[in-house]
Structure 1
Amino acid sequence: MRRRQQLDVLRIDRLATKCCGEILAAAVLAAAPDGVSTIEQAATYAENNEVISIELVKKDLFFGWIYEDLISIKHSLSQINFEEIEQFDRAKQDTFRVLDIHLIAICERIENNTSGIKACIKKIFANLTKRPKISHIALQLLVSVREHLESSESFVIQGWRSDSKGRPCGRRRTAVVTTEAGYAIQAI
């Protein structure tokens, strides 16, 4: 019954991992260490120098927030236990505390108006004149992250957005039985 949601959780985890790598590479490109001038070189540098790359991410407020949000999304996904959810489904119990609460946390990390992933990327692009160190290539990586988030057609995340036509983020279901249809979610 939850197979589609399980696949979406795995896909979202892969997406968050890919976005983490792209944010690390963008931070490396923005810092421009010696010998790093291409996306491939930045990705290799970030992979071989993870601690330094994370420090570079944290030097930029928005890069840091994006990276922390992506790590938080991965953590929320790791908390979802589909065996436990199936037990709740069989017992016709509300899955709010074992599934819904994690999906709400993910949506908040993406959609938060001040420090969410989309807001941070938007602010980076809005303040390009104040950010001369961000290279054109680094901006391409940020566009890539934004495109991943906006084009992702997730069955799991669609209905949890605060601007969705379905149930808004944070509002608990009152029905005893939760079904896959109750989790139809718009794209991130």
Structure 2
Amino acid sequence: MLASDLPVRLIVAGDGPCRAEVEAAAAQVNARHGRPAVTLTGNLTDPRPVYDAADVVLGMGGSALRGMAFAKPLVVQGERGYWRLLEPASLPVFLTQGWYGIGTGQDGAELVAAILRRLFSDPEERARLGVFSREVIEDRFSLTAAASAQESRYRSAIAARPSRMRWGPSLVRPLAQVTWYDVRRKIARRLGTVNADDFNSLAAMTRHHERSTS
């Protein structure tokens, strides 16, 4: 419906089990408009030229993030007719649920067509949303952002770890008890008077606990 009013072209990059069905639908659209309104590229070893050439990216998951990295406006695709434009108001939604969504089950053709009409009729908004996409990637999904987040977690973990001054004294008594037990066992073995009680038996542990708390 969009190709009837605007000189747009949909590039479908990638492959999948439904390719024959998509090819048939694309052929019908192209025949109806008398031009290649839909092009299927098949599997691409390097899809970067497609992202770079796009005016708007339609996608989900990693494809959505790659399109954003090329500073393109993004329309997130999901299931059951889900389409939503990435903009400051919708960013919290995608950061929570991921770059995906589930619609109401209605046909999403009119919804995505309305979003695309809005974008193609306003080049300034397209440019602004493209810059926003890139900023989101740099701030939250770049290697620099990932390294910074990882470093922050490490620093928090180190700061939360008890210092030696705090946990050291609490280990002195148990360590001394175990050491003294080993010494007594060695002496008893040399004297031939090893106690039949095992240190790990319930009775032995109970006695040691009683001595520790007395």
* TM-score, normalisation: structure 1: 0.24
**Going by fraction, where is helix more abundant, 1 or 2?**
1
**Going by fraction, where is strand more abundant, 1 or 2?**
2
Q: Tell which has more relative contact order, 1 or 2 (C-alpha 8 A, sep 6+).
A: 1
* TM-score, normalisation: structure 2: 0.22
